[in-house]
Every structure is written in structure tokens, then in C-alpha cells.
Chain A
């Protein structure tokens, strides 16, 4: 390998942004060598500089960014010294980039085909006809169904997954030596993401393209890359091969990150998450010495906070394994992994919520000419189809599903912003499904509160934190006296572990994690019996998300609150819920306890969903089930089983034409599927977690391989 010229080499690369506040170093001292055909992963949380590295390689840092030191060698030539014209010839032909938001990256007023054809037309001496043929061919290569239609479609006429495939096709079109992928699946649904990841991981083999894959998700890096770089606050803190770094992370930040990710092995009671305390420093507030030292448990004053720490090779590991920590030899990450405190499981009481054949249909007016001519201008969107499940006191029930599955509609009906079309949602003796929020009593309202998804939206930017929490106490807690309200707000701030002077802060002075904490305080201000949490941590960085998740479950346990946890992430759900409801296009496909869902028998959709979850543990193996196509639109769902269009186990016309029956596999475990239970019971578990014995074997085998 070492004789080959590397495709890309960055040496001591430093990048700064110039703002009114002065020069802000975004990336410091970055070194990487990318060999032909190799896939490099760069992982880190927001603001760590990973995307800046990609833009620097493309030499496109905007007007206020500049490379302040080091060099970027592309096949031996220094890109920082190239003219605009030379760069133009490299871009798109030798180096291509794939972006985070496919829709925004495509020109809305040009047909996909034309946008694709531009690449060969401007990089090669080629006729329009040949370019067209090439574009058509590449769409085939990225497994787009019906490439001819896509060629003539505008970007808004195809789905998100298809758009990303077009962007990938555009990148591959001139057969580049290097492909940069900046969070290419973040905007997509899990099952669609799985298809794209499979495509991407096949690229380097098929086209012998080197890749730099940028992501915040360690699980995705594991599935796509050979080597991984962990970045923190503008610098690489650890690098190594996938095996060495995932098996023996040496930097406290790296194993801190692993501690924040719920693995399928983890259980909230037995092995709680270990959040990293504090938050990422802003670029101009970085500490001296190791940038991670204020958040590090192993920090030694006088050693870690003095000089800048260099990268050191980790002896005894794979040869590429290097770490930026002056104490890596002294710290034993495994010893610490065992020290996680154990928390008692919460006591589960009587049934508090019963959803009984609940349906919610929306009327949508179709004003297209075709609809008017055929006289069918009103359509029913079946947002929730015959929902049945219950939740008990102190229990955590997760509702899992991808976009359009109806989980938000359910939340709206439960909260009273919509009323159910049929069926009932019983809380105690009352059917809340029929009551809009303005018809509910104060007690019914205060018994049911919500934590929202988007930290930037959850708080009103015009009011202080104190007044927003206070308003809930006044309105729902029945406290009128201002002084008492203030005291109660202080108490709540203590509960969510925020300093009391946040009372006077405005939301824009808070970080994402802090805002979510305030959101939790607000939800618990009226002493609710049940809290709905709608993806409360999906927008947060991993290390912060773990702390917020923990806080939420701690409060829930203490107050014996019922938690309805809406999520698309099965790892989190596995970690914190007692029961799971899997939804797809308005239907409940499967429900049961967490163990029942994660073990066979599965509904085929659950099976695919489980397989799609990226897992950041190289020892865990999964059966690969990649779904074809995209989620159907909720406006126009399949006639029979909602999953029939993508189901790999479809048994015939019955799936297309008849709604599937609800089969009870075990008490409380219901699967909606046409396939007989006996058949479903025959499958293997999707996720295989090795036993302790198997792990030892694997480690021994790895050791011999490294030493040989």
C-alpha cells in the first residue's frame, strides 16, 4: 500500500474563518492520507470542523474562510496553489462531493437529466448524445427504478431517497478518484438510509473510488469505512482502523462517545448511558492544552491544560492507531466501563391510557383537473388506522416509525388539537379522543404534557425561561401568587439541573441541550401523569442527547410518570422503553414489550427496521434486509397491507388487496401481517449480540492477526 501515491494528503492543515470577532480557527493541524480505494470516516459532533475539512479539500471555503497553514496534496499536487482553472478541472471530475440535503443541492428549475449531463459535457470531449447515454447509465448504476422518468423529472418530482441517488450519480459520473460525502443520509428515513448506505459502501469496490465519509453517527461510519478519524473542537483526537478504534478507543472523548450511544446490548436499568458532562467549547473559548480537558474525567491539572498535545502512536494496537492524549497509556477504558451505576427499574402500575380502535382521517381537497372531472375532489387521508394499545403508570411506551407513519397525528389527537374520527382514547374514565383541548378540564390538560423535538422551536424566543415555565404553573398548577410561582420555577430548574439564573435568560442565550432541559421542566411544571416526548433528543449532539435522555428517564422514574416516547431510532427505544408500538403509514404493524419486538416473530416491516439501525459495535452482527423503493405517500397508500409495496416477504395478491389481520403471537404481542404466525416464528433474530464467550474468542483472534 505504501508504494502507491496517495489520492489525497492533508499535511498540518489549518483553516480559519474571519468574522467580526476576529479570526476563528475552525480546524487545527489536520493530517490525513487517503489511499486509492480506501474509505476514510470523519466523525464528530456539530461544530467540530468536519464539514470545513471537506469544503477545504474542495477549495470552497466562501469569502470569510481561508486555509491558514499546511497543504492539501491531490495525487501529489498542492491544491492550495492551484489556479481557478486548474481547480475547476479537478472539481466534479477528479473530486466529487455529495451533500447533506439532496433537495437543496439540486437546481429546482433544471431537469435531473440535464444537471447530470453537465458533468461529462464540461469535463470531457463528448457529444450531447453520449453525455445523455452516460447519465442514463449511471442512474441505472445507482439502482434508481425507472431512470428514464428521472432523467426528465425536475428534482421536486422525485422522492428524497431518489434525489440523493441522483446526487450520488452526479458525483460518480466522471469516475472521480475521490468522493467526499457530507452526512449524505441525515435527511432521510431509516429504511431509505439503509439502501443509500448499501449503495455507498459498494461504490469503492465497484468504481475503486476513495471516499471521505463525514458523519456524526459512529454506526454509519462502521458500515461504510476502513479507517476513522474522530474530531473534537477542530482537531483530530484519535484515528485508527475501524477495528482498532471501535474495539480499543484510547481517547477519553472517543470512549465517552461510545458511552453515550445506546447499544442493543444496553438496558436503561442495568447499564445506563454515561453522558459526557458539559458541552462543546465555542472555537474562541477553547481551553489551553487538550481541548477536551474541561469535560474529561481523567484531566490532571498541570499536565492536560498546558501545552498543545501532539498525536501519538498507540503502541500495541494496529499501526495506524494514533491518539491525541498525554495520558492514554495510564487510562484503562474498560475498567471504567464497568463502573456505571445501576438504577432500579420503575414500578409499573395500573393502566392509565387505553387507545381503543382509534382512527383519524383527514379530508383533503384535491383540486386537480383530473379529480374535478372524475368528481372525486375529497379524499380521505387515513393518518391513523385502527390504533389499539395501552400504557400503564410509570411505563415507557415507545411509538416508532418513519415519516408519515402517523405518530405525530396520534400525538395531536391525544393532546386535543384534533379529535378522533372514530374509536376512543381513554384516560381514566374519560374519552379524550372526542375532546378538543378547549373542551378539556384544567386537570385533564395538566395531566398530559408534551416535550417537543426541535430545541430551536420549543421555547418562545421572545420570553424569558422563567416566564414561560411560570405561565404553565399559573395556568395548570393553579398557583396565583407570583412569589410562589417563582419559587416553583426555581425548583423545576433545579430538577432539570440548570442554574437558577437561567430564570432571566432568553432562549437564544441557551444551547440546544439546555433548551430541551427547559422544555422538560415546562412539561413537568403542571405535575403531569403522562408526558409525550416527540423525538426529544434527535436534534441534539450525541454527548448532549445522552444527558437529556437520562434526565428525562430519571424524572419519569421519580414521579412515576407514564412516558410516551415517539422516535424513529430503535437503539434509543430499545434502551429506554418497556413496550414498543411500531407504526407504518397510519397502521400499527407490531406491538409488544421491548423484548418481544426485538425477538422473532417479527412483522416483516419491524424486521427491516431493525436491520436498518446502524450499530456502532463491530462485534454485533445483523441480518441484512434492504428495502426497495421509498415510503409511499400517505395521500395515496397501498390498498391492502400498507407495507405491501416494499415487503420482501410478500406472499401474493392478498397482501396488495386485503388489509392484514392482527395476529396475537403472545399475550400483548400483536403482529399485523398476512403471513401465518408459524411462518413468522421461523426466522432468526435480526441482531446478533455475541455472548461474553464469543467476544473473548473474537478478541483472541484479532490479537493474533495484529501481531502476525
Chain B
């Protein structure tokens, strides 16, 4: 840190107009921080791996995940066209590797969308409850409590059975289940931040509540919210996969991990690999999210 040179510099007015440091450099330097947490690094690598898989699935040399080849092929078997089936085929002869990778895309897309929507609602409600207080807080908090008193999976099952199983309905169910929890976190953060002097300063300049919430408060809540978003993305992936497993998830035929397991379970020991591969894939992604969140939290506490 530069010393308080201020008071010594002879005529500060003569200092040349400075240049703005690039945004890129600031972003890379904050990413580099993650290197200091081994747990966070492992998490980041796991998450990055699956995100990458989801992105490149269309251009990888994979078999069609829906096309039946030969059923019950073992690992490394040769496909009818001479290619290798690295993880073998399932009970209907579909390439397991291809299905697992395509699943990641489907799950991640819907999970991100659902988490995003839940965050929009959760943050809006949390800001209003935390900053405006009074009746806003009473009413919003009460309805959040009502929704939170439902065990999550029961809420999912009810919403999906009433509305029907589809991607959009899953987004709605996740929003109902997650938004209240996000609201509580945001509300807590806002309650803490709103007593800061810079908020007081903004209030005494006559800024509107919206300006204060969006410009003064929310940016400072981002640390804990990023950690929470990471965890919540993990929960949402689990929720989507679990609904898939219960047969209430994204509609077939496109694969997702939960559905793959659901199809394999009744076959018992014949379909061991068919069950274990998606289970491992799913667990590794969730582990990634959780470890990344742990790492981020650890780093943010250090500052």
C-alpha cells in the first residue's frame, strides 16, 4: 500500500490524470485467489469438467444417446460400426458414455435456469423485507416461513404432480422451494448492511430506496450470495435428478442422471454399471459444487 504520501506531495494538483486499470486484470486476480484453497481448487476443477462436458457434448464424437445399438455391452466393447463403447451400453443398447455426458447438459441447463429464477425472486423479496422492513417484512417473512415449513421434496412432489412433469414446472417448483431460503439469506445480509454509514450517507443524499438496495446494498452482499448460489445450484441439480429418479422429472426420452438410475434400478444386478455410472457422475458434480462453495467461503473469510 502506498504511504499517505498525500500530505507530503508538493502540489497534488499537478499530478497527471490517471488511467483506469483494466477490468480483466482485476477478474483474473480474484480467480487466482482460489489457488490458495486446495478444497476450492478440486471443487472448481470438478465443476469446470462437467460444465465443459455440457458445452462440448454436441461436438464430441459420441453416439446418439437415444439410438439403441447392442444391449448390455461391457466396458470398452466394440460398437457395430467399429467404434469403442468406453462405458458399454444399457439395457436397451444405448451408449452409456454418451447418455451420461448429454445428461450433464440437460441437468445443468435446467438447474441454472431454475436457480437463476429462484434468485431473482428471492433477492427481490429479501431486499424488500430487509430494507423496507415493517409490514413488508412481516408479510414476506410469514409467507417464506409457510413455504419453508414444507419439507422440500414434498413441496416438489405436490407441485409437480399437480402441474405435471415438465422443465418449466420444475423451474416453478424450485423457485417455490428455494426463493424463501434465498430471501432469508438476503434479508439477513441486508439487515446487517443497512446500518452501515455509507447507507446512511446515501439516505441523507435523498437517494431512493431502489437505488440504495441495488447500488449500495446488494453489491456488498455478493460474497455470501456467490457461496450460497454455488451450494444452491448443487441442491437444484440434486432436486432435478431426484425428481427424475422418482419419475417426476424432465420428460423422456432425452436422458438425465436421475432417470438413468430409475430405469436401471428394477433390473437389479444386471444393470449394475448402468446404475453406478450416473450415480458417480451426479455425485462428483455435487461434490464439486460443495467443495467450490467451501473454498470460496474459506477465502472470503480470510480477507
Chain A residues within 8 Å of B, Cβ to Cβ: 20, 275, 277-279, 281-282, 294, 415-417, 437-438, 440, 442, 445, 448-450, 452-454, 457-463, 468, 471-472, 475-476, 490-491, 493-494, 496-501, 503-504, 508-509, 511, 513-514, 517, 522, 526, 544, 547
Q: How far is the CA of A503 from the CA of B36 in the complex (A)?
A: 30
Given contacts A417-B203, A501-B15, contact A282 B220 (CB under 8 A): no
- A522 & B4 in contact (Cβ 8 Å cutoff): no
Q: Which residue of B lies closest to A500 (CB)?
A: B15
Q: Which residue of B lies closest to A439 (CB)?
A: B206
- A517 & B6 in contact (Cβ 8 Å cutoff): yes
Q: How far is the CA of A461 from the CA of B196 in the complex (A)?
A: 11
- B20 & A279 in contact (Cβ 8 Å cutoff): no
- A415 & B204 in contact (Cβ 8 Å cutoff): yes
Partner of A497, one of B2, B7, B21, B222: B7
Interface hits, B12-54 → A, CB 8 Å = 12-13, 15-18, 20-21, 36
Partner of B206, one of A279, A437, A452, A544: A437
- B17 & A472 in contact (Cβ 8 Å cutoff): no
- A497 & B197 in contact (Cβ 8 Å cutoff): no
Chain B residues within 8 Å of A, Cβ to Cβ: 1-9, 12-13, 15-18, 20-21, 36, 196-198, 200-201, 203-207, 215-216, 219-220, 222, 303
Q: How far is the CA of A406 from the CA of B270 in the complex (A)?
A: 78
- A445 & B6 in contact (Cβ 8 Å cutoff): no
Q: Which A residues are CB-close (under 8 A) to B7?
A: 275, 277-278, 497, 547
Q: How far is the CA of A282 from the CA of B1 in the complex (A)?
A: 8
Interface centre among A282, A438, A457, A468, by most chain B C-beta atoms within 10 angstroms, is A457
| Additional pairs, 7, CB under 8 Å, beyond known A475-B207, A497-B9 | A278-B3, A415-B200, A415-B203, A475-B205, A476-B205, A500-B12, A500-B17
Q: How far is the CA of A472 from the CA of B202 in the complex (A)?
A: 9
Q: Which A residues are CB-close (under 8 A) to B220?
A: 460-462
Q: Which A residues are CB-close (under 8 A) to B8?
A: 277-278
- A452 & B201 in contact (Cβ 8 Å cutoff): yes
A-B contact pairs, 28 of them (CB 8 A): A20-B36, A277-B7, A277-B8, A278-B3, A278-B8, A279-B4, A438-B206, A457-B196, A458-B201, A460-B216, A460-B220, A462-B220, A463-B215, A463-B219, A475-B206, A475-B207, A491-B13, A493-B12, A497-B6, A499-B2, A499-B9, A499-B12, A500-B17, A500-B18, A501-B15, A508-B303, A511-B4, A544-B4
Q: How far is the CA of A454 from the CA of B9 in the complex (A)?
A: 26
Given contacts A275-B7, A445-B205, A511-B4, contact A457 B198 (CB under 8 A): yes
- B4 & A513 in contact (Cβ 8 Å cutoff): yes
Q: Which residue of B lies closest to A523 (CB)?
A: B201
- A278 & B1 in contact (Cβ 8 Å cutoff): no
- A504 & B21 in contact (Cβ 8 Å cutoff): yes
- B219 & A498 in contact (Cβ 8 Å cutoff): no
Q: How far is the CA of A508 from the CA of B3 in the complex (A)?
A: 14
Q: Which residue of A lies closest to B221 (CB)?
A: A462
- A490 & B200 in contact (Cβ 8 Å cutoff): no
Given contacts A437-B203, A452-B200, contact A514 B4 (CB under 8 A): yes
Q: Which residue of B lies closest to A415 (CB)?
A: B204
Q: Which B residues are CB-close (under 8 A) to A511?
A: 1, 4
The 8 A-B pairs with the shortest beta carbon distances in the complex, nearest first, are A462-B219, A501-B18, A452-B197, A457-B197, A460-B198, A497-B6, A279-B4, A415-B204
Q: Which A residues are CB-close (under 8 A) to B3?
A: 278-279, 281, 294
**Smallest CB–CB gap between B114 and chain A, Å?**
27
Q: Which residue of A lies closest to B216 (CB)?
A: A460
Q: Which B residues are CB-close (under 8 A) to A472?
A: 205
Partner of A450, one of B2, B5, B15, B204: B204
Given contacts A437-B203, A450-B204, A501-B18, contact A278 B5 (CB under 8 A): yes
- B12 & A440 in contact (Cβ 8 Å cutoff): no
Q: How far is the CA of A472 from the CA of B203 in the complex (A)?
A: 12
- A490 & B17 in contact (Cβ 8 Å cutoff): yes
Interface centre among A499, A503, A522, by most chain B C-beta atoms within 10 angstroms, is A499
**Smallest CB–CB gap between A412 and chain B, Å?**
9
- A494 & B204 in contact (Cβ 8 Å cutoff): no
Given contacts A277-B8, A417-B200, A458-B197, contact A509 B17 (CB under 8 A): no
Interface centre among B1, B215, B219, B222, by most chain A C-beta atoms within 10 angstroms, is B1
**Smallest CB–CB gap between B303 and chain A, Å?**
8
Q: Which residue of B lies closest to A414 (CB)?
A: B204
Q: How far is the CA of A459 from the CA of B219 in the complex (A)?
A: 13
Q: Which B residues are CB-close (under 8 A) to A417?
A: 200, 203-204
- B12 & A494 in contact (Cβ 8 Å cutoff): yes
**Smallest CB–CB gap between B292 and chain A, Å?**
20
Q: Which A residues are CB-close (under 8 A) to B206?
A: 416, 437-438, 440, 442, 445, 475
Q: Which A residues are CB-close (under 8 A) to B13?
A: 491, 494
Q: Which residue of B lies closest to A551 (CB)?
A: B7
Q: Which A residues are CB-close (under 8 A) to B205?
A: 445, 471-472, 475-476, 526
Q: Which B residues are CB-close (under 8 A) to A277?
A: 4, 7-8
Q: Which residue of B lies closest to A461 (CB)?
A: B220
Given contacts A20-B36, A278-B8, A282-B1, contact A522 B15 (CB under 8 A): no
Q: Which residue of B lies closest to A416 (CB)?
A: B204
Q: How far is the CA of A471 from the CA of B200 in the complex (A)?
A: 15
Q: Which B residues are CB-close (under 8 A) to A498?
A: 6, 12
Q: Which B residues are CB-close (under 8 A) to A491?
A: 13
Q: Which residue of B lies closest to A442 (CB)?
A: B206
Q: Which B residues are CB-close (under 8 A) to A437?
A: 203-204, 206
Q: Which A residues are CB-close (under 8 A) to B1?
A: 282, 509, 511
Q: How far is the CA of A547 from the CA of B216 in the complex (A)?
A: 29
Q: How far is the CA of A471 from the CA of B6 in the complex (A)?
A: 23
**Smallest CB–CB gap between B94 and chain A, Å?**
49
Q: Which residue of B lies closest to A462 (CB)?
A: B219
Q: Which A residues are CB-close (under 8 A) to B201?
A: 450, 452, 458, 522
**Smallest CB–CB gap between B237 and chain A, Å?**
30
Q: Which residue of A lies closest to B12 (CB)?
A: A494
Q: How far is the CA of A449 from the CA of B203 in the complex (A)?
A: 11
Q: Which residue of A lies closest to B218 (CB)?
A: A462
Q: Which residue of A lies closest to B4 (CB)?
A: A279
Q: How far is the CA of A501 from the CA of B21 in the complex (A)?
A: 10
Interface centre among B1, B4, B216, B303, by most chain A C-beta atoms within 10 angstroms, is B4
Q: Which A residues are CB-close (under 8 A) to B198?
A: 457-460, 468
- A503 & B18 in contact (Cβ 8 Å cutoff): yes
Q: How far is the CA of A476 from the CA of B204 in the complex (A)?
A: 11
Q: How far is the CA of A294 from the CA of B13 in the complex (A)?
A: 23
**Smallest CB–CB gap between B256 and chain A, Å?**
38
- B6 & A514 in contact (Cβ 8 Å cutoff): yes
Q: How far is the CA of A193 from the CA of B249 in the complex (A)?
A: 66
- A278 & B4 in contact (Cβ 8 Å cutoff): yes
Q: How far is the CA of A547 from the CA of B5 in the complex (A)?
A: 12
Q: How far is the CA of A500 from the CA of B20 in the complex (A)?
A: 11
- B204 & A445 in contact (Cβ 8 Å cutoff): yes
Q: Which B residues are CB-close (under 8 A) to A476?
A: 205
Q: How far is the CA of A206 from the CA of B21 in the complex (A)?
A: 62
**Smallest CB–CB gap between B219 and chain A, Å?**
4
Q: Which residue of A lies closest to B26 (CB)?
A: A506
Q: Which A residues are CB-close (under 8 A) to B216?
A: 460
Q: Which B residues are CB-close (under 8 A) to A513?
A: 4
**Smallest CB–CB gap between B205 and chain A, Å?**
5
**Smallest CB–CB gap between A141 and chain B, Å?**
39
Q: Which B residues are CB-close (under 8 A) to A544?
A: 4
Q: Which residue of A lies closest to B219 (CB)?
A: A462
Q: How far is the CA of A522 from the CA of B206 in the complex (A)?
A: 15
Q: How far is the CA of A33 from the CA of B262 in the complex (A)?
A: 77
**Smallest CB–CB gap between B109 and chain A, Å?**
30
Q: How far is the CA of A449 from the CA of B4 in the complex (A)?
A: 25
**Smallest CB–CB gap between A573 and chain B, Å?**
21
**Smallest CB–CB gap between B53 and chain A, Å?**
33
**Smallest CB–CB gap between A435 and chain B, Å?**
11
Q: Which residue of A lies closest to B2 (CB)?
A: A499
**Smallest CB–CB gap between B1 and chain A, Å?**
7
Q: Which residue of A lies closest to B199 (CB)?
A: A460
Q: How far is the CA of A417 from the CA of B206 in the complex (A)?
A: 10
